[in-house]
Amino acid sequence: MRRAPRWVVAAVAAAAWVGACSEVGTAPDGIVALAFDTLPYPSVVEADTMRDSTGRAAPLSAVAYNADGDVIDKPAVRYIALDTGVIISSQGYLIATTRTSGTVRVVAAAASLQSLPRTVTVTRIPSRFAASGATADTLVYSSPDTASKNVSKAMTVKLTRDSSGTAVNVPGFLVSWLVTFRGQTVLKSDTTLASLWDDATSRRVSLVDTTGTDGTAARTLRIRSNDLPTTADSFLVYASTRYRGAAVAGSPVKFVIHFRPK
């Protein structure tokens, strides 16, 4: 059976300590801890239902734990919108009704418990996905390898919706990134030759980004010169995004990162 994380174990212990004052029981379906840590998607499109990354309508989902720290199957959890312009069905589906932009907060509640709020972006239907800036870069790499020099410039994409001839930024959409070298996909777990970073400061390997309020998402390519060919070559990087399971026009966007030794 799926077990609870440490904070839930602490919550269970606290519930046991306060006893009757906690108003929670020890029945297998008695909820003593509630985790609402993830959303099906970072955003919901105006006049639409929240969908997951595959494009299917997906309900909100919290995880409830009993006094033994076990996950409760089909717990009696309800979801509450703290802001106007959206509704949440009894099945947990979040629907944007009158709101067309901005953010809304939602919480999960069960028994006498309520989760911390989760923030959802209300966004638009995208119509165009394109590079924002150069689509090619050349790295003259250093050897021995050094993380301060062997990193490409940021590869940036922008998601927009054309409205009366004006491009409107579309935030809150997931952007997937893929690296290939000589026709082969470079896996996230394989950092022998290269990896995608979310930025040069945190240096976290990341293949998924979310468009910001300006509609952009970006990654840098960190190459590792110790095992690279000593002749000039290149990596290809692709960025893609989808709505309702279909690629947005312009997706994928291709970037070419050339490299050569000094």
Place of tokens 């004052």: 21
pLDDT given at position 201: 76
Q: What is the pLDDT of residues 229-247, one digit of tens each?
A: 889 999 999 999 999 999 9
CA 140 to chain centre: 32
CA 220 to chain centre: 17
- H-only helix segments in 87-188: none
| For the chain, percent of residues with pLDDT exceeding 90 | 76
Please give the model's pTM, rounded to 2 decimal places. 0.87
Q: What is the pLDDT of residues 108-159, one digit of tens each?
A: 999 889 999 999 999 999 999 999 999 999 999 988 888 888 999 999 999 9
Helix (H) or strand (E) holding 13: helix 6-18
What domains appear along the chain, each with residue ranges and CATH number? Answer: 6-123 (2.60.40), 128-261 (2.60.40.10)
Count of other CB atoms within 10 angstroms of residue 180: 14
pLDDT given at position 140: 92
Report which of residues 19 and 93 the model is more confident about. Answer: 93
| For the chain, percent of residues with pLDDT exceeding 70 | 90
CA 33 to chain centre: 25
Which pLDDT band, with edges at 50, 70 and 90, does 18 fall under?
A: very low
- What are the angstrom distances between the C-alpha of 153 and each of 195, 196, 200, 220? 14, 12, 9, 6
| Separation between Cα atoms, residue 53 and residue 188, nearest integer Å | 19
Poorest-confidence range of 91-95, 109-113, 251-255? 109-113
